[in-house]
């Protein structure tokens, strides 16, 4: 049985970076389950992949790593998943389990890790496979649409918040306010943080205020107070010195993205001295994912979602690129079956 999937073409033109094709779905390994995809979130990483900023690890790979679906096939070695069960698929697909990072609880740094929608086909498709040990059970309080952005935007934002070492009740700065930031902001505010948001979009600034930000400003504005911690969500390297300069002594800046434009030369006194720290955030562990899903349920996090039909994947990516998406874009499958393959 063939299925429809959006694939990365490798072409430079924004109109032809993705193509909708009909092809055989991936084979199922014994430790995997197959899901019928109900929804798949659209992440900035998909955009970096389609645009070639993140080189595809496989030709014509289907992107998408915020997948919610129902189990339709169970591999021979899987004994704790039932047909029809709702599961989530996230970015981290497999790790080796043997290297020193895996053994130390840092499987996000495993050199042999593979990723959904990069090494293996993701959820911009009618079906997807996932190793059962890397799938997530989603709390009942979330609809499929609400759950999708939690699976990458939520998880990576949560890890970024952890990496930023925000003290309890501390002052958190967020630079860039898209899908990941708006989930992270809700968690931070619910846990007592004082939130300051710097972002270029007026709509995003309004959303930040609605979610409890103490102040909002333009991307390069200085927040009204020195920050105990900051997270850079915008993939813009020139914001690194801006955010470092806004930190109080001892503060940490965590860079959340997998891709960042060039960072300018830093001045030691102005940007780093007084024990300010700068760290990247690299993927996540499964523990991060489990913690985020539990916490999001308990703290009543509500992702703001803009749905797109499955056929609108290319449009969703270009809207994301142009900053036109409110909250998180999510592809909705199901009612869209039966259309012929074509390039968009």
Q: Which residues bind Zn ion (CB under 5 A)?
A: 43, 45, 95-96, 99, 102, 110, 152
Nearer to Zn ion, 5 or 47 (CB): 47
Q: How far is the CB of 245 from Zn ion (least distance, A)?
A: 28
Please state, in angstroms and rounded to a whole number, the distance separating the CA atoms of residues 316 and 8. 14
How many C-beta atoms lie closer than 10 Å to residue 17's C-beta? Answer: 24
Measured CA to CA, the distance from residue 221 to residue 312 in angstroms comes to: 35
Q: Within a 10 A sphere around the Cβ of 5, how many other Cβ atoms?
A: 30
Q: State residue 240 phi and psi, 5-degree precision.
A: -60, -55
Q: At closest approach, how far in Å is the CB of 298 from Zn ion?
A: 23
CB of 301 to Zn ion, least distance (A): 17
**Beta carbon nearer to Zn ion, 45 or 127:** 45
Of 29 and 96, the one with the shorter C-beta distance to Zn ion is: 96
Of 114 and 165, nearer to Zn ion (C-beta) is: 114
Q: Residue 2, exposed/middle/buried by CB under 10 A (0-12, 13-18, 19+)?
A: exposed
Report, in Å, the least distance between residue 335 CB and Zn ion. Answer: 25
Minimum CB distance to Zn ion smaller for 154 or for 217 = 154
Least Å distance, CB 307 to Zn ion, is 18
Min dist. Cβ of residue 90 to Zn ion (A)? 8
For the chain, the straight-line distance linking the first and the last C-alpha, in angstroms and rounded, comes to 23
DSSP string covering 125-191, please?
A: BSEEEEEGGGEEPPPTTS-HHHHHHIIIIIHHHHHHHHHTTPPTT-EEEEES-SHHHHHHHHHHHHT
- Name the residue nearer to Zn ion (CB basis): 95 or 199: 95
Q: How far is CA 109 from CA 31, 58, 336, in A?
A: 22, 21, 38
Report, in Å, the least distance between residue 73 CB and Zn ion. 25
What gap in Å lies between CA 179 and CA 160, rounded to an integer?
14
Rg (CA), the chain: 20
Distance of closest approach, residue 288 Cβ to Zn ion, in angstroms: 13
Contact 92, 132 (CB under 8 A): no
Continuous segment of H or E residues that includes residue 37: strand 32-42
Residue nearer to Zn ion on the CB measure, 129 or 284: 284
Q: What is the DSSP string of 214-283?
A: SEEE-TTPPPSS-EEEEEE-SS-TTHHHHHHHTEEEEEEEEE--S--PPPPPPPIIIIITTT-EEEE---
Task: Closer to Zn ion by CB, 45 or 242: give it.
Answer: 45
Nearer to Zn ion, 155 or 247 (CB): 155
What is the rounded CA–CA span in Å between residue 201 and residue 324?
9
Question: From the CB of 46, what's the least distance to Zn ion, in Å?
Answer: 7
């Amino acid at each position: 049985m063939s299925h429809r999937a959006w694939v990365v073409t490798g072409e430079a033109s924004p109109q032809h970076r993705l193509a909708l094709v009909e092809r055989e779905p991936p084979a199922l390994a014994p430790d995997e389950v197959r899901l019928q995809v109900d929804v798949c979130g659209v992440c900035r990483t998909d955009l970096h992949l389609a645009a070639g900023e993140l080189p595809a690890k496989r030709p014509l790979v289907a992107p998408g790593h915020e997948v919610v679906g129902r189990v339709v096939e169970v591999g021979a070695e899987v004994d704790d998943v039932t047909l029809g069960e709702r599961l989530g698929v996230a970015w981290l697909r497999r790790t080796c389990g043997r290297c020193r990072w895996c053994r130390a609880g840092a499987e996000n740094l495993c050199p042999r890790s593979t990723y959904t929608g990069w090494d293996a086909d993701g959820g911009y498709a009618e079906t997807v496979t996932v190793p059962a040990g890397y799938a997530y059970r989603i709390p009942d309080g979330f609809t499929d649409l609400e759950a999708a952005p939690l699976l990458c935007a939520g998880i990576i934002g949560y890890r970024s918040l952890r990496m930023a070492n925000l003290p309890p009740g501390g002052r958190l700065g967020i630079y860039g306010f898209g899908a990941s930031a708006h989930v992270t902001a809700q968690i931070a505010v619910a846990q007592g943080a004082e939130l300051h948001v710097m972002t270029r979009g007026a709509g995003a600034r309004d959303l930040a205020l609605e979610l409890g930000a103490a102040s909002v400003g333009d991307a390069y504005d200085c927040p009204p107070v020195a920050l105990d911690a900051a997270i850079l969500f915008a993939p813009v390297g020139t914001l690194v010195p801006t955010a470092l300069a806004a930190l109080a002594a001892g503060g940490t800046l965590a860079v959340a993205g997998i891709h960042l434009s060039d960072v300018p030369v830093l001045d030691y006194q102005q940007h780093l001295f007084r024990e300010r720290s700068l760290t990247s955030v690299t993927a996540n562990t499964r523990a991060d994912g489990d913690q985020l899903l539990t916490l999001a349920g308990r703290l009543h996090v509500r992702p703001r979602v803009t749905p797109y039909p499955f056929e609108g994947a290319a449009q969703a990516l270009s809207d994301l690129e142009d900053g036109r998406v409110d909250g998180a874009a999510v592809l909705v499958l199901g009612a869209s079956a039966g259309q012929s393959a074509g390039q968009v």
